[in-house]
Amino acid sequence: MRITTLSGGVGGARFIRGLRRHLDRLPGGPGDHEVTVIGNTGDDITLWGLRVCPDLDTLLYTLGGGIHEGQGWGRAEESHRIQAELAAYGAKPQWFGLGDLDLATHIVRSQWLGQGLTLSEVTARLASRWGLPDQGLTLLPMSDDPVETHVVVDDPEADGGQRAIHFQEWWVRMQASVPASRFVAVGMDRATAAPGVLEAIRTADVVILPPSNPVVSLGIILGVPGVRDALRGTAAPVVGVSPLVGGAPVRGHADACLSAIGVEATAGAVGDLFADFLDGWLVDPGDAPPGSAAGSSRTPGGLRLTAWDRPLLMPDVASATELAGAAYDLALSLRPT
């Protein structure tokens, strides 16, 4: 079975680790299931001359066993000596924390990119070091072309009363506290899908959207030319897991992203963003209409909505494994016979 997923950082990575664990336990064993992950690169940023790919790195570290579990991103047992030294020089920005071990990833990535390798090739090399191929995991960046999500915010002092800032400045430095009026994927007009991305969707047996940020993770990947069409056209069942529980994101500021695009922060409204290609949408029992907990009902957009019988949360690997198993089973139940 070939399973293809789209992913942002923490929510996606935790879910996909659970998915891998679930598939490994099925009869037939690990070799029977190949998982391809298409990672968001809209969060990418160049800092101190180094190319940083936060979502790809969160995936590498989580799937490769090097993640800082409590934080959800960055390396376990990290130190920050280089950042302290940069601060002593007054080097900016200081609001984006990069640990010493993590910096090694960015250094080697930047070196390889500088030698002319594509981001796909670089990501494959990094993934080998983290043992992803041995686990039946392929990590693809959504595109080899640089795409950066920028956020348009009000600024009375700027020309026209607005200015665009890098997504990371809005998310990390401002903690999304300034209302976003819109998101712009800079570079998307010249971007193409990375090698293997469209094929992985078209030829999959199952496609799963993990509970990643619907706007700045999944929404950006869906903007890559051909991706949305491939999802609409694939013969595989496409199912997703809601990142919202009880009308709020489980972590992060997805609600601030949704309000920028005028979408209500509810599990149903988020599912409807993908109604043109989704076959099933897994939600928390509390987010399903009364009486639908055991079966399925539909959202206003016509999406088939399925309530899980447990809270849609991944506090640990065991619960992520169960949640991913439920999403996978939902997909199998929707396969054409």
Asked whether position 223 contacts ligand GDP by CB under 6 A, the answer is no
Half-sphere exposure (CA, 13 Å, Cβ side) for 80? 10
Say how far apart CA 248 and CA 242 lie, in whole Å: 10
Map tokens 């993640």 to a residue.
67
The long-range contacts involving 158-167, CB below 8 angstroms and separated by at least 24 positions, are 166/45, 167/42, 167/43, 167/216
What 3-state DSSP class applies to 143? strand
Quickly count: other Cβ atoms within 10 Å of residue 45's Cβ. Answer: 18
Measured from the CB atom, is 67 or 86 closer to ligand GDP?
Answer: 67
- Residue of this chain nearest to Ca ion (CB atom): 9
As measured in angstroms, the least distance from the Cβ of 180 to Ca ion is 15
Work out what residue 280 binds among ligand GDP, Ca ion, none; the CB cut-off runs from 5 to 8 Å by kind.
none
* Position among 252, 268, 271, 280 found at the interface with ligand GDP (CB under 6 A): 252
Quick one: which segment of 36-44, 177-185, 240-248, 303-311 binds Ca ion (CB under 5 A)?
A: 36-44
Asked whether position 280 contacts Ca ion by CB under 5 A, the answer is no
Quick one: which segment of 19-27, 88-96, 246-254, 327-335 binds ligand GDP (CB under 6 A)?
A: 246-254
* Position among 4, 41, 105, 213 found at the interface with ligand GDP (CB under 6 A): 213
The DSSP string of 22-49 is HHHTSTT-GGG-EEEEEE--TT-EEETT
Work out what residue 240 binds among Ca ion, ligand GDP, none; the CB cut-off runs from 5 to 8 Å by kind.
none
Asked whether position 306 contacts ligand GDP by CB under 6 A, the answer is no
Asked whether position 164 contacts ligand GDP by CB under 6 A, the answer is no
> Phi/psi of residue 30, each to 5°?
-55, -35
| Interacting residues of 107 by C-beta distance below 8 A, sequence separation 6+ | 50
Asked whether position 251 contacts ligand GDP by CB under 6 A, the answer is yes
Asked whether position 237 contacts ligand GDP by CB under 6 A, the answer is no
Say how far apart CA 337 and CA 333 lie, in whole Å: 9
50 DSSP β-pair partners: 47
Work out what residue 165 binds among Ca ion, ligand GDP, none; the CB cut-off runs from 5 to 8 Å by kind.
none
* Position among 3, 6, 7, 8 found at the interface with Ca ion (CB under 5 A): 8
Asked whether position 148 contacts Ca ion by CB under 5 A, the answer is no
* Span 16-75, contacts to ligand GDP by CB under 6 A: 55, 58
* Position among 250, 260, 307, 334 found at the interface with ligand GDP (CB under 6 A): 250
Measured from the CB atom, is 61 or 112 closer to ligand GDP?
Answer: 61
Say how far apart CA 62 and CA 69 lie, in whole Å: 8
- Residue 90, class by beta-carbon neighbours within 10 Å (0-12 exposed, 13-18 middle, 19+ buried)? exposed
As measured in angstroms, the least distance from the Cβ of 306 to Ca ion is 26
* Position among 234, 242, 266, 299 found at the interface with ligand GDP (CB under 6 A): 242
Q: Are strands 2-7 and 34-39 parallel, antiparallel or unpaired?
A: parallel
As measured in angstroms, the least distance from the Cβ of 157 to ligand GDP is 30
Measured from the CB atom, is 7 or 83 closer to ligand GDP?
Answer: 7
Q: Any idea what the Cα angle at residue 51 is, between residues 49 and 57, rounded to 5°?
A: 145
Asked whether position 55 contacts Ca ion by CB under 5 A, the answer is yes
The DSSP string of 173-229 is ISTT-SPEEEEEEETGGG--BPTTHHHHHHT-SEEEE-S--TTTTHHHHHTSTTHHH
Q: Are strands 280-283 and 238-241 parallel, antiparallel or unpaired?
A: parallel
Asked whether position 9 contacts Ca ion by CB under 5 A, the answer is yes
Q: Where along the sequence are the contacts to ligand GDP (CB under 6 A)? A: 7-12, 55, 58, 211-213, 217, 241-243, 245, 249-252, 254, 312-314
Q: Where along the sequence are the contacts to Ca ion (CB under 5 A)? A: 8-9, 43, 55
